[in-house]
Chains A and B, each alone.
Chain A
Amino acid sequence: MTHIVVDPVTRIEGHLRIEAEIDGGKVADAWSSSTMFRGIEIILQGRDPRDAWAFTQRICGVCTTVHAIASIRAVEDAIGAKPPPNARILRNLIIASQCIQDHVIHFYHLHALDWVDIVSALDADPKETAALAQSISDWPLSSATYFKGIQDRVKGLVERGQLGPFANAYWGHSAYKLPPAANLMALAHYLEALEWQREFIKMHAILGGKNPHLQSFLVGGMATPVDPDAQASLNIHTIAHFKKLIAGAQEFVSKVYIPDVLAVASFYKDWAGYGAGVGNYMVYGEYPLDDEADPELYLPSGIIRARDLSKVEEFDPSKITEQITHSWYDYAGGADAALHPSEGETNPNYTGPEPPYERLDTGKKYSWLKSPRYDGAPMEVGPLSRMLVSYVRGHEKVQGLVNHVLKTLGVGPEALFSTLGRVAARAIETQLLVDKIGDWVDELADNMGKGELRIHDNSKWEPESWPADCMGAGFHEAPRGALGHWVHVKDGKIARYQCVVPSTWNAGPRDSGDVPGPYEAALVGTPVADPEQPIEILRTVHSFDPCMACAVHVVEPGGREITRVKAR
């Protein structure tokens, strides 16, 4: 039995640490730990709830919008504000464009390097790459000259020692299966995706002003004026600009991203048999399509248990709890209590080893993440959960896209419960959203045409209009999965605030019954060819799109080293 440690697992903010026992070339058991403390809840106590979004937005540098959306929804739910239709539409546009950009970046810039060997790409024959690219898509950038140019550019960087994001990887590892030609195609698309995302995210600049953080959020609506004829508003020119960006996104996703995922997947079909995880899937639902109290959602909510695709349970927010049996916190009610987030407590109490340390004592407390549970069970959240719930609920577009991918790869629906299934579901969701987002632009244009220009419900702006004591919850499907904020407002101030973020659901530790969380369960059975270079572990963990910045964001007291990258 070999014990290995991967720390940190993510290249982006925050520290996720995986410890695993390897036996017979496979992961026998695994523990997921966050080694940083999170506590935005503590900062928010006593503040004006209308300002909470500006703070929660700063939790995470990767998901710029998601904590703002969840926060304004939670506060609106508490005080009874009703955003007008245009605010719903603008939020849908912000949420969908964030999700589209995030998924593309995740695949090309964070996850692809687990599957694509960049060094091998430098040895590829550009002619072969051109033949491959032309066989899978009619995307125009596919000539041998073009691929040769890409190869030369990256060779130049490597020769100058400017590997940048390509440093610290496991190049040449036996687990890389793509032929050199496919590696070069993926490398070219890595660069194209970088270029494409910088254009597409102008959606946010248009919706939220020139400041890099969207500043147009407002409890009760949005702060972006809508007026077809006014210059400083979302106007008819904006609509045309949106349409152009969306058309470009549709091209890129359908002609580059989807074909690439299918091409990569065809070489890694064995990964449809690894990484299944807990097999329970939870979705809060997203993209309200009307302004009723219980709106129809484009991606519906629901719970799937034990990989049973014959039924979906209705989601009931009261069944969410967080446990701390294996987390470095205290609960007033004892270590085995399970608290609903509306009654949640954030009392840090670090009892782990003094850093730097070799191993965590995983029999005791071993993470700064709590263990969220739904009806007592661990739940996977994210694009795979969303696509599965929509699939089972009969969402025609989702069924069509999922069936197309399964058919192309020649696999059955059970292949979705896997590392590869998560990669595919993320791509499918991206296609779904680039095809849908234009409808919301049309809806906005229709409202402009009708003179429906309202963006904000002023009636609940003043604290005097609020109940003296009220509670609310804000649910959102962030790119990485189900995100909830819970707020208790008392005498116009925040009395209690709790966030339960997607990476806590997926990366959380074992619970009071010693039941593993989704990462921990997904890693069991994953093959590891070389314990010194556990790229296979990264594949499965990265397939969840971990973002520890939201889950945790403060270096623990005692100050461990914050900058060294030990594993990519």
Chain B
Amino acid sequence: MSERTPVLVLGLGNVVCTDDGAGIAAIHKLIREYDMPEGVVALDGGTLGLSLLPLVDSADQVILVDAISADGSPGTQVRIEGDEVAPAVYERLSPHQIGVADLLAGASLLDRYPDRVVILGVVPDSIELGLERTPAVQASIPELVERIVEELTAMGYPPVRSENRDEGYGSAAHIARTLGV
């Protein structure tokens, strides 16, 4: 068994599909502006589905950051936890929902479902092709990042503001700049 990750923060969504990339935009902003404390891993998971299983099933607590179809106007902040997570990923998430559902089901089937899964997200307006978020959703990204920070702080892992980051080829910052998130 590989080593455990106390907290995994995983951005999900398709960055070339406008608001579906909200979770990706948020995770990159988080990585850009904060240093994660020891024990926290923050990653851009895209729409990789089952390939993310080794990350998720080796984590004790998981925060998924995603666009979430829910009641409320575009940009509305949404938080889902506990028993609401499974039905939400089957019925309410964005087009990659089956991938996320299979991911969580996979962890469950292997008896390694994380102790705690929280989904933080915003309601999308459009998931059509495009690199830009719609205005309401783009405006909601800073608050989404703040809520990730609050969630981590409440878990006992407060991130620290930072300007130090790796700008090298292939780094998260490089990819974020290329993709415009």
A566 within 8 A of B: no
Bound together, the chains give a CA A187 to CA B89 distance in angstroms of 23
Interface string of A330-366 (1 = CB under 8 A from B): 0000000000000000000000000000000000000
Knowing A51-B178, A194-B53, A562-B127, say if A13 contacts B16 (CB, 8 Å): no
A105 within 8 A of B: yes
Bound together, the chains give a CA A11 to CA B179 distance in angstroms of 27
- Residue contact B129 to A55, C-beta cutoff 8 Å: no
Select the stretch in B96-104, B134-142, B147-155 that faces chain A.
B96-104
Knowing A43-B129, A562-B69, A563-B91, say if A212 contacts B178 (CB, 8 Å): no
Chain B residues near A175: list those with CB within 8 A.
none
**A143: min CB distance to chain B, Å:** 19
Interface string of A47-59 (1 = CB under 8 A from B): 0000100110011
Bound together, the chains give a CA A510 to CA B102 distance in angstroms of 33
Interface string of A15-57 (1 = CB under 8 A from B): 0000000000000000000000111101100000001001100
- Residue contact B69 to A54, C-beta cutoff 8 Å: no
Bound together, the chains give a CA A177 to CA B53 distance in angstroms of 31
- Residue contact B92 to A563, C-beta cutoff 8 Å: yes
- Residue contact B128 to A194, C-beta cutoff 8 Å: no
**B65: min CB distance to chain A, Å:** 14
- Residue contact A562 to B94, C-beta cutoff 8 Å: yes
Chain B, range 43-77, C-beta contacts under 8 Å to A:
43-55, 57, 69
- Residue contact A201 to B51, C-beta cutoff 8 Å: yes
Chain A residues near B169: list those with CB within 8 A.
218, 223
Bound together, the chains give a CA A202 to CA B44 distance in angstroms of 17
Bound together, the chains give a CA A153 to CA B108 distance in angstroms of 10
B122 within 8 A of A: no
Chain B residues near A553: list those with CB within 8 A.
14, 16-17, 95, 129
- Residue contact B179 to A54, C-beta cutoff 8 Å: yes
Interface centre among A58, A204, A211, A555 (most CB of B within 10 A): A58
**B178: min CB distance to chain A, Å:** 5
Bound together, the chains give a CA A565 to CA B108 distance in angstroms of 21
Write the chain A residue with the least CB distance to B111: A153
Knowing A11-B98, A61-B49, say if A43 contacts B127 (CB, 8 Å): no
B106 within 8 A of A: yes
- Residue contact A563 to B97, C-beta cutoff 8 Å: yes
B171 within 8 A of A: yes
**B2: min CB distance to chain A, Å:** 9
Select the stretch in A157-165, A235-243, A250-258, A476-484 that faces chain B.
A157-165
- Residue contact A563 to B93, C-beta cutoff 8 Å: yes
B86 within 8 A of A: yes
- Residue contact A554 to B47, C-beta cutoff 8 Å: no
Knowing A553-B16, A554-B127, say if A162 contacts B86 (CB, 8 Å): yes
- Residue contact B16 to A55, C-beta cutoff 8 Å: yes
- Report which of B99, B175, B178 forms a contact with A12, defined as CB distance below 8 A: B99
- Residue contact B50 to A565, C-beta cutoff 8 Å: no
Chain A interface residue count, Cβ-Cβ cutoff 8 angstroms: 57
Knowing A197-B50, A198-B57, A212-B46, say if A562 contacts B109 (CB, 8 Å): no
Chain A residues near B109: list those with CB within 8 A.
153-154, 157, 164-165, 191, 194
- Residue contact B128 to A58, C-beta cutoff 8 Å: no
- Residue contact B175 to A215, C-beta cutoff 8 Å: yes
- Report which of B44, B54, B106, B170 forms a contact with A223, defined as CB distance below 8 A: B170
A14 within 8 A of B: yes
- Residue contact B129 to A58, C-beta cutoff 8 Å: no
Bound together, the chains give a CA A218 to CA B16 distance in angstroms of 20
B80 within 8 A of A: no
- Residue contact A554 to B129, C-beta cutoff 8 Å: yes
Write the chain A residue with the least CB distance to B130: A43
- Residue contact A212 to B16, C-beta cutoff 8 Å: no
- Residue contact A213 to B129, C-beta cutoff 8 Å: no
- Residue contact A13 to B102, C-beta cutoff 8 Å: no
Interface string of B136-174 (1 = CB under 8 A from A): 000000000000000000000000000000000111101
**B123: min CB distance to chain A, Å:** 13
Bound together, the chains give a CA A198 to CA B49 distance in angstroms of 12
- Residue contact A202 to B110, C-beta cutoff 8 Å: no
- Report which of B52, B98, B129, B175 forms a contact with A565, defined as CB distance below 8 A: B98
**A204: min CB distance to chain B, Å:** 8
A209 within 8 A of B: yes
**B180: min CB distance to chain A, Å:** 10
- Residue contact B54 to A202, C-beta cutoff 8 Å: yes
B15 within 8 A of A: yes
Knowing A562-B69, A562-B95, say if A43 contacts B105 (CB, 8 Å): no
Interface centre among B46, B50, B52, B97 (most CB of A within 10 A): B50
Knowing A58-B15, A62-B49, say if A563 contacts B129 (CB, 8 Å): no
Bound together, the chains give a CA A16 to CA B155 distance in angstroms of 42
- Residue contact A58 to B98, C-beta cutoff 8 Å: no
**B128: min CB distance to chain A, Å:** 5
B131 within 8 A of A: yes
- Residue contact B53 to A198, C-beta cutoff 8 Å: yes
- Residue contact A37 to B129, C-beta cutoff 8 Å: yes
- Report which of B48, B54, B172 forms a contact with A64, defined as CB distance below 8 A: B48
Knowing A11-B102, A64-B51, A212-B52, say if A557 contacts B128 (CB, 8 Å): yes
Bound together, the chains give a CA A212 to CA B129 distance in angstroms of 22
Bound together, the chains give a CA A554 to CA B20 distance in angstroms of 10
A69 within 8 A of B: no
Measured CB to CB, the residues of B under 8 A from A are 14-17, 43-55, 57, 69, 86, 90-99, 101-102, 104-106, 108-111, 127-131, 169-172, 174-175, 178-179
Measured CB to CB, the residues of A under 8 A from B are 11-14, 37-40, 42-43, 51, 54-55, 58-62, 64, 101, 105, 109, 153-154, 157, 162, 164-165, 167, 191, 194-195, 197-199, 201-202, 204-205, 209-213, 215-216, 218, 223, 549, 553-555, 557, 562-565
Nearest first, the 7 A-B pairs at minimum CB distance are A61-B47, A164-B105, A215-B170, A554-B129, A198-B54, A198-B53, A54-B178
Q: List 30 A-B contacts (CB under 8 A).
A: A12-B98, A40-B129, A43-B130, A51-B178, A55-B16, A55-B178, A55-B179, A61-B14, A61-B46, A61-B47, A61-B49, A62-B99, A64-B46, A64-B51, A109-B50, A153-B111, A164-B102, A165-B101, A194-B109, A195-B110, A205-B54, A212-B46, A216-B170, A554-B17, A555-B127, A555-B128, A562-B94, A563-B69, A563-B90, A563-B92
